[in-house]
Amino acid sequence: MNDEATALYQDGRYDQATALAKKSLQLAQSDNTPNNPDVATSLSKLAAIYAAQGFFEQAEPLSRQALAIRVKKLNAEDPDIVANQAQLAGINAAILDRNRTIAPFKRISTAANSSSIFQILNKDAHSATFAFNGSEPNSRKRWRQVIEVDAKQGEDIDLAIVRRMIQIIRTYYTGDFNWESRRLGRTVSMSARPEDTAALEDFMMREFDFR
């Protein structure tokens, strides 16, 4: 089941991957075996799926729990422990980086039209590039990052673009955020929470005239 969850999230189907990983974790926990390695595997897998979407705060305790189980059963040099330690370190580094950069992005997103933050540069059936633009209010300071997107096999390129944009948004927001919509002509409150992924994807697809 964990392998299926991995395949789903590698294919960009995060909602399905998350649901399957949670089911796998519940099944492993129902065994009630102390320090069950299957529980550790499921915890790490769910942490990886959350981290891939930018939900580092949700991923961190899961990865930490997995490591706590493994250190009781395995040697310190065991590959599973080494991999778990690397995962946890990466998640914590991402949280630290987010805390360093969240304030400037909040100023930018509330001062500028949010649609101008993302600009499609080129697109074909399988790949695209878009710009991630920013500017600080009351300042001439500007920055621009070009993002490359490749659609996975069978994945719609428009949806792949939107999912990459959402990953960027979730680097800075884990809850509600304001989006100044040129399509609607007003500011709307959106949610970056995992359970609201489908609604956010649908909104972004419409915002960029992808549907």
| pLDDT at residue 25, as a whole number | 93
pLDDT at 108: 37
Report the predicted TM-score, pTM, of the whole model to 2 decimal places.
0.58
Return d(Cα 9, Cα 16) in angstroms, integer.
8
Kindly give the residue spans of alpha helices, DSSP state H, lying in 30-141: 37-52, 56-73, 79-111
pLDDT at position 182 = 79
**Structural domains of the chain ordered from first start:** 2-101 (1.25.40.10), 113-207 (no CATH)
Give every CB contact of residue 68 below 8 A, 6+ residues apart in sequence: none
pLDDT at 103: 46
Three-state SS for 147-186 is EEEECCCCCCHHHHHHHHHHHHHHHHCCCEEEEEECCCCE
* Type of residue found at 202: D
Q: Give the mean pLDDT per block of 10 residues along the chain (211 residues).
A: 72 83 92 88 93 87 95 91 95 76 45 63 92 66 81 89 89 83 85 90 92 77
